[in-house]
Chain A
Amino acid sequence: MNLVINGDQKSFTEEKISITDLLKIEKVEYQDMVSVQLNEEFLRSPDYPGTFLKEGDIVNFLYFMGGGQ
């Protein structure tokens, strides 16, 4: 399956990938520090395990950045 993750094309051999799986595969360390966008829609974390990806999906991991001072 081919997905676009944060702008990069990536191929996966897995047949069924949920958002939860993808977070693991992509080694996202702190799930609470990331907001997940699937084809421009934002997902809520309780929906991650039940949301499965399909060919060509565009996924963005957007990270919290709290600094400024």
Chain B
Amino acid sequence: MKDFSDEELERYSRHILLADVGIEGQDKICAAKVLVIGAGGLGSPIAYYLAAAGVGTIGIVDGDVVDLSNLQRQIIHTNAEIGTPKVESAKRKMLAINPGVTVNTYKTMLEAANILDIIEPYDFIIDGTDNFAAKFLINDACVLANKAYSHGGILRFAGQTMSIRPRESACYACVFDSPPPAGIVPTCSSAGILGAVAGMLGTIQAAEALKFITGVGEPLYDTLLSFDAKKMDFRKTRLRKNPRCRVCSGAGITKLEDYEQPVCDLKRPE
């Protein structure tokens, strides 16, 4: 086990006090490597909480720079950082809250050609992206590389998430076979999102990562958690691995391909 300093014992005391976590659990958190894909609405709270929790190595992937229209929900960025790469802005805040963690930044968009190399060093992957092409690619790559991961999606007042243990629990493609056709797809960028809803879902994903690392509780495997903030309805749908899944069943996929990214009719404010 890691030799905790007095400063660390105090910093993590509220984790250590949890009977299910304890010093052993905090040791696992400090040794863990988690990759956050997207430093936006979901990625902001995820990155903050993982850094605060002391996740030893946190990777963060995003190719964009901070835009004024992001600040309504992307709480890791500030007004002063408009125009700054999101990964740099996020790293600054993560180290400000906890200088004891290592933050690796990837200022790039994920594609079939680079995703396997980027996810390789990490124990757990978190999808905080804003488009189906990326979400399906992350699923494919995590199944191919056998990486546990958390899927997340938000839309207007709603959110949904599931955790995936490849080939053991249902994957994203078991539920949604392939990206919906272009043109009808309302995404965050074109449909709007209540800022706090991104925070609600992001913190659930961060908690799932910490559960995975510490082995506490039951991750959302074979379970789609959906909520509608308008009525504050939360619902769990039981899932089963789809025996016809084109990604995780039988031989499944053997290589990655990029998905076509649908073009939105509305101007993309990202």
Q: Using a CB–CB distance below 8 Å, which chain A residues touch chain B?
A: 6-7, 30, 32-33, 35, 37, 40-42, 44, 60, 62-69
Contact = CB atoms under 8 A, between A and B. Distances in A.
A27 B127 CA distance: 30
A42 B174 contact: yes
A67 B155 CA distance: 6
Interface stretch (B19-27, B98-106, B116-124, B180-188): B180-188
Nearest to B62: A69
A1 B18 CA distance: 49
A68 B238 contact: no
Nearest to A37: B237
A66 B135 contact: yes
A68 B40 contact: yes
Contact of A68 (B128, B191, B237, B239): B128
Nearest to B224: A62
A60 B240 CA distance: 13
A69 B74 contact: yes
A66 B179 CA distance: 9
Contact of A65 (B70, B155, B238): B155
Contacts of A69: 38, 40-43, 64, 70, 74, 128-130, 188-189, 270
Given A33-B180, A66-B153, A68-B135, 12 more contacts: A7-B235, A32-B181, A40-B239, A62-B160, A62-B175, A63-B155, A65-B160, A68-B129, A69-B40, A69-B41, A69-B128, A69-B188
A69 B61 CA distance: 12
Nearest to A65: B153
A64 B240 contact: no
B151 to A, nearest CB: 10
Contact of B187 (A6, A35, A60, A67): A67
Nearest to A30: B184
Nearest to B233: A7
A42 B175 CA distance: 7
Interface string B187-222: 111010100001000000000000000000000000
B152 A62 contact: no
Contact of B242 (A6, A42, A62, A65): A42
A19 to B, nearest CB: 15
Given A62-B175, A62-B237, A68 B270 contact: no
A67 B186 CA distance: 8
A66 B43 CA distance: 14
A37 B175 CA distance: 8
A64 B132 contact: yes
Given A6-B235, A64-B153, A65-B159, A32 B130 contact: no
B131 interface: yes
A32 B238 contact: no
6 contacts: A30-B184, A40-B238, A62-B176, A66-B131, A69-B70, A69-B130
B158 interface: yes
